[in-house]
Amino acid sequence: MKAIQIFVAIVCAAALAVAPLVQWGDLALLSSADGALAGYLALLGFGLLSESLTLRFTVARSAGQSSISFLPLLACIVLFGPAPTVLFMITIGVVGEVLIRKKENIRAVFNVSQWTFAATVGGLLYDSLGGQAVALVAGPDQASALLLQQTPVFVAFGAAFMLLNHTAVSLAIALSQEMPFSRVIARVVGRSGVNVFYDLLLSPIAIALAYLYLAAGVAGLALFLLPMLAIRHAYQINLRLQEANRDLLKALVTAIETRDPCTAGHSLRVSSLARRIPEALGGPGGTAEVVETAALLHGVGR
């Protein structure tokens, strides 16, 4: 069995092992609390919409994806607690991977499993730190103050979820493509962790989303639609700029080398070989990309 298949089996087993630890009986509170079920279904709708707008990027020959569904996910944990949040993640995972993106079986099972594992572990951490489901345990007068008190626990859940998610995805790509883990994680999180920084920077928006729900119910959630689309557009522009810069650089080098047929493809070959050096030496994340770019440009002065 290939290493990637073993890894997928381990992740799937881990998700099945931790899922029963969630207090699934808390789902009954959704129907007992006033308007909670409608609010939860509205958040689920936002999550499904986010999955349909997922952005894709590539690492070597593997495809990755970036979604803003973590915003309604974060709002869900602070409003409704761990059990509804894990169910939220399973639902949008299955619908997104199987029905929307139509992924092959092993990819769909892996993604749903690692999301379930990350949401469950994050939810258990949320519970252990004293986190509460604000929309289920507090009245309208106390909910806003309680929501503010939950911010540190909310941050802990978000950090745990993103750490587990990025690590699992990077390991899967590294194993399937036989690439160094450091190179893959550097691409997934961005140079100097910029992609994670963007996610953390945007996470307070989930708190604002929760406030909108507490203040105006489902109608308040509807106000979040336009900002959510704006955030997705910003992510799309960032990815397109990165891809355009890489393509423009290669086109520039190719155009320069057409002046001398004897050196055609030379810079591309040098950059490919040069990249292998920091990879073989186990250089810090992002080093290989810097060396590759520098090697690609080494002959531009000619």
Q: What is the mean pLDDT of residues 101-129?
A: 92
- What confidence score (pLDDT) does residue 42 get? 87
Q: What is the mean pLDDT of residues 110-124?
A: 94
The answer to whether residue 122 scores a pLDDT higher than 90 is yes
Poorest-pLDDT segment among 22-26, 49-53, 76-80, 132-136: 49-53
CA distances from 151 to 15, 34, 129, 157 (A): 26, 23, 11, 10
**How many angstroms separate the CA atoms of 37 and 72, rounded?**
15
- What confidence score (pLDDT) does residue 126 get? 94
Q: What is the dihedral sign for C-alpha 241, 246, 250, 256?
A: positive
Tens digit of each residue's pLDDT (9 = 90 or more) over 28-67 = 888 877 778 888 998 888 888 877 776 555 544 445 555 6
Higher pLDDT, 55 or 98: 98
- What confidence score (pLDDT) does residue 62 get? 46
> Which tokens is 271 given?
């950059």
pLDDT > 90 fraction of the chain, expressed in percent and rounded: 20
Non-local CB neighbours of 12 within 8 Å, separated by 6+ positions: 109, 110, 113
Res. 173 pLDDT band, cuts 50 70 90 = confident
Higher pLDDT, 188 or 30: 30
Poorest-pLDDT segment among 57-61, 176-180, 296-300: 57-61
**How many angstroms separate the CA atoms of 230 and 159, rounded?**
23
- 65: which strand partners? 56
Q: Is 12 left (phi over 0), alpha (psi -120 to 50) or beta?
A: alpha
Q: What is the mean pLDDT of the chain?
A: 80
Q: What is the mean pLDDT of residues 209-215?
A: 82
